[in-house]
Structure 1
Amino acid sequence: MKRLLASIHDVSPRFEGEVDLLLDRLAPHVGQRLAMLVVPDHWGGAPITPAFGARLRGWASAGIEMFVHGWFHRDDSAHRGLAAVKARRMTAGEGEFLGLDHEEALARMRRGKALVEDATGRAAAGFIAPAWLYSDGARAALADAGFALAEDHAHVWAPGGATLAKGPVITWASRSTPRALSSLAAAAVLRHTLHPLPTVRIAVHPGDVTRPELLRSIDRTFAAFAARRRPAAYADLLAERRASISA
């Protein structure tokens, strides 16, 4: 049976209530078979507290995969050329790893990995950059940091290894009405066109709960895929790759 990968982004004490609402929203479709993308210190003002760390440990114990999702989730780099276009068009100052060199990217990845693993008592599932945006240095740092999995808008891959899944992530934008409308249109198209893919990825964000029309679209999108697919873990992709190599 084909796979459905679900994820909640921007998991942080800053958005604890929103994360709870999203968990409840996704539960009828995937239960707790999903991933959380944890931000260690969202915009430098929401560090992981002991109480929130305990919640992360509980969610991980229930089977939720924990990814490191940057460090600050805020982009403080000065960009030029194509990177400047991506920073302006694809996110609102949140592409933290788009402008980092290898050394700084690696340092933040290692710090984030240590924090998430200490909180959960388990190995981090992987790393996903904020806004799915990476510099070349950041991409190179993934393997050096010891991450088993990474993801961007179009792929899931094993750093230093193979591509494990292809196809666009279905996601929504909430920061302005034009972007929300555009994401609604994209979701409507993708929930009809992505069925041939072996793996479909759906990602939700805390801001989605602020717009009822986005929540309705999220419900419709999960319902469209959940009936035909099994909720899966990102780690399943890696396990299946290893099994195919050894067969």
Structure 2
Amino acid sequence: MTERLLLASIHDVGPKFEREVDVLAARLERLLGGPRFAMLVVPDHWGEAPLSASPAYARRLRDWADAGVEMFVHGWCHRDAAPAGFAARHMTAGEGEFAALDRAEALKRMTRARAVVEDATGRPAAGFIAPAWLYSDGTRAALADAGFALAEDHFRVWNPDNGAALTRGPVITWASRSRWRRLSSRFVAGAARTALGGQRVIRVAVHPGDTREPSILNSIDATIGRFARSHRPGRYAELAGHGNDLATSLATPPSLATPRSQ
């Protein structure tokens, strides 16, 4: 793959943030010209919203997956009950679930989460992305055991089987938990619109909390709008060389309304 790609994703997808995900999905469809993005699914966010107990939402995920949205496993519950290290405690509000797990526990949670996500979507998961992009050594080792095709952290996408980097470069994302985080993330996104223009693969990630801040939504619009003019909205699977058939079928996708519960 030599052309420039824009990879967009919605994090923390699940019944807990149903309304917020609807808003983000509709926005990305408009900006990208269709369902050309990924969803990162949490099977039981904070232990409060089990996907397995929400068949209506599972049907919605299947509708999105059928339309071409890539579905990633995004941890099990997203929350780290005992945050380890500065990043987990202060940068993610204790949501770095896989930041300190040993190999056996990480594999157990990955396997359990994958089963729930694949049962809901009716197709193999596209890969695994740890909450807050934080991985312990045990988690990285467990990825190869779990057999995921792709994994992502803040600075690269790689093949867990052999460790090969498929693309490098920072994810453009936003933070909404405090005023200074909102200001700094908007500043960084603005700088990235200029600094990263020559990068072959651009990754942009949005979160449910972004929907509560009009200034962040405006920044998302400006950032994705800028890169959509120079990079083709694509799929993570293309990085591994096995997504081109579906990418071609999505070149002129039908209009997709946000799926609704049956």
TM-score (norm 1): 0.94
| Secondary structure in structure 2 of the residue aligned to 1:9 | strand
| Matching residue of 2:104 | 103
Structure-2 separation of matches of 1:139 and 1:132: 11
User: Which residue identity lines up with residue 196 of structure 1 in the other structure?
Assistant: G
Q: Within 5 Å, which residues of 2 pair with 1:173-192? A: 173-192=175-194
Query: For 1:134-163, what per-residue CA distance to the aligned partner results, in whole angstroms no more than 9, with x for missing partners?
Result: 000001101111100000000000102210
Query: For 1:195-245, what per-residue CA distance to the aligned partner results, in whole angstroms no more than 9, with x for missing partners?
Result: 111100000000000000000000000111001110110000001799xxx
| Matching residue of 2:92 | 91
| Matching residue of 2:208 | 206
Q: Within 5 Å, which residues of 2 pair with 1:82-161? A: 84-161=85-162
**Deviation at residue 88 of structure 1 after TM alignment:** 2.6
Structure-1 separation of matches of 2:143 and 2:9: 20
| Matching residue of 2:11 | 9
Distance 1:212 1:233, change over 3 A: same
| Secondary structure in structure 1 of the residue aligned to 2:76 | coil
| Secondary structure in structure 1 of the residue aligned to 2:49 | coil
Alignment length, in residue pairs?
Answer: 238
User: Which residue identity lines up with residue 33 of structure 1 in the other structure?
Assistant: R
Distance 1:46 1:241, change over 3 A: closer
Structure-1 separation of matches of 2:225 and 2:83: 41
User: What is the alpha-carbon root mean square deviation over aligned residues?
Assistant: 1.4
Contact 2:235-2:243 at 8 Å conserved across structures:
no
Is it true that 1:55 corresponds to 2:56 in the alignment?
no
Structure-2 separation of matches of 1:57 and 1:200: 26
TM-score (norm 2): 0.88
Contact 1:77-1:100 at 8 Å conserved across structures:
no
Structure-2 separation of matches of 1:148 and 1:109: 13
Query: For 1:154-183, what per-residue CA distance to the aligned partner results, in whole angstroms no more than 9, with x for missing partners?
Result: 000010221001000000001111111110
**Structure 1 stretches lacking a partner, 5+ long:** 243-247
| Secondary structure in structure 1 of the residue aligned to 2:59 | helix
Contact 1:117-1:123 at 8 Å conserved across structures:
yes
**Structure 2 stretches lacking a partner, 5+ long:** 245-262
| Secondary structure in structure 1 of the residue aligned to 2:50 | coil
| Secondary structure in structure 2 of the residue aligned to 1:15 | helix
Is it true that 1:195 corresponds to 2:203 in the alignment?
no
| Matching residue of 1:245 | none
Structure-1 separation of matches of 2:72 and 2:42: 9
Structure-2 separation of matches of 1:153 and 1:20: 24
Provide the identity percentage: 62
Runs of 4 or more consecutive aligned structure 1 residues displaced over 6 Å after TM superposition: none
**Deviation at residue 29 of structure 1 after TM alignment:** 2.2
